[in-house]
Amino acid sequence: MHPKMLKAMRAKKKRPVDPNAPPRPNLLTHEKRLKDMQASNETAQQTIQQLQQRIQRLEAKLNYQTNYLQALHSKLQK
């Protein structure tokens, strides 16, 4: 065998690792976080839309009841 082949087959030295260094970024965890955040945003948006619709229904109901009571009150006063 050629010495160049032996050199290529030899294991490379590992770099010294700083034990106090923060963990290296992992793109898979970033993607998972982004997907989780997007999912939570979508559920929050759905909840907000449902609550807005409920508020609109309750406001319409309140307006109807207010108008009904005003009409009733005016009839009773006459």
Please indicate, yes or no, if residue 15 is contained in any of the structural domains.
no
Q: For the chain, how many structural domains are there in total?
A: 1
Verdict on whether the full-model pTM lies above 0.75:
no
Per-residue pLDDT for 10 more than 90?
Answer: no
Q: Find the distance separating the first CA and the last CA of the chain, reported in whole Å.
A: 116
Domain range spanning residue 60? 50-78
Residue 75 included in any domain: yes
Q: Is residue 57 part of a domain?
A: yes
Does residue 1 have a pLDDT over 70? no
Is it the case that residue 76 has pLDDT exceeding 60?
Answer: yes
Task: Give the per-residue pLDDT at 6.
Answer: 67
Cα–Cα distances (Å) from 41 to 30, 47, 70, in that order, read: 16, 10, 43
What letter represents residue 29's amino acid? T
Please report whether residue 44 resides in a domain: no
Is the confidence at residue 49, as pLDDT, over 80?
yes
Report yes or no on 67 lying in a domain.
yes
| Residue 56 in domain | yes
Rg (CA), the chain: 34
